[in-house]
Amino acid sequence: MHRRMLGNGHCARPVDTDCHFEPICEGCTFMTRKKIMREQTEDLVDVVAGVRGVPGKRPEGLGGECDLLALDDAGNLLAAEVKPRGTSSIRWAAAQATVHARLLRMWLDEPHPPAAARDVIDGMLSQRAHVGLARADSRLTLADDPKVIPMVAVQRGAAQTHLDGWRTVQRTA
C-alpha cells in the first residue's frame, strides 16, 4: 500500500492500480468501494461495538467477501459466513453475514442491464454442475425477485464461549 497526497487527502489506493489522479477521486472505483463498504457496515460496526457481555476485541470492519453463496429450493440467495471452530471471530459472524446479504441485495437491485446479476449467478450454477460440484440435473434457478438470506456456518466443535458470543451478537444485530 502506498500513500499519496491528493487534493482530497491521502489516497490509499494500491500503487499497482491505474490512477490518473482524478479530481477529488469522484470517479475512483477504489474510493467508491470503500464508500459502499462504509455505508453498508457502519451501523453494524456501531451495534457490535456496543454489545455487552461478549469478550474479545471488537471488529473495526466486517469484510466484504461472501464465503459461500448458495440457492435454496425457492431460488433465494443464501449469503454465508463460514467459520472454522477455533476462531474467536465466530462472535461477529452474524453481522458479517448481514453485510454479505446487504451487498448482494444492492447488486441485484443495481440499475444495470436487467439480466446481468441473473446471468452471473446462472453462470456460476452452470460452472458448478460442469465441474461436478452441483448435480447436472438440478432445477435450481434464481427466483424472479429473490430474497437474500444471511446465514452462518460454523465447524463442529467450536468453543461454547464463541458460540454464546455469536448468539448474543445475533440477537443484538
| Residue 11 pLDDT class (50, 70, 90 cuts) | low
Query: Which pLDDT band holds residue 118 (cuts at 50, 70, 90)?
Result: confident
pLDDT in tens, 89-108: 888 888 889 888 988 888 88
The residue with cell 434464481 is: 142
pLDDT tens, position by position, 52-70: 766 667 677 777 788 888 8
Q: Which helix (H) or strand (E) holds 9?
A: strand 9-11
**Is the confidence at residue 81, as pLDDT, over 80?**
yes
Q: What global pTM score does this model have?
A: 0.72
β pairing state of 9-11 and 148-154: unpaired
pLDDT band at 1 (very low <50, low <70, confident <90, very high): very low
pLDDT at position 8 over 60: no
Can you give the residue ranges of every domain in the chain? 4-172
The answer to which of 67-71, 125-129, 150-154, 157-161 has the lowest mean pLDDT is 125-129
- Enumerate residues 6+ apart whose C-beta is below 8 A from 128: 134
Separation between Cα atoms, residue 54 and residue 92, nearest integer Å = 10
- Cα–Cα distance measured from residue 100 to residue 64, given in angstroms and rounded to the nearest whole number: 6
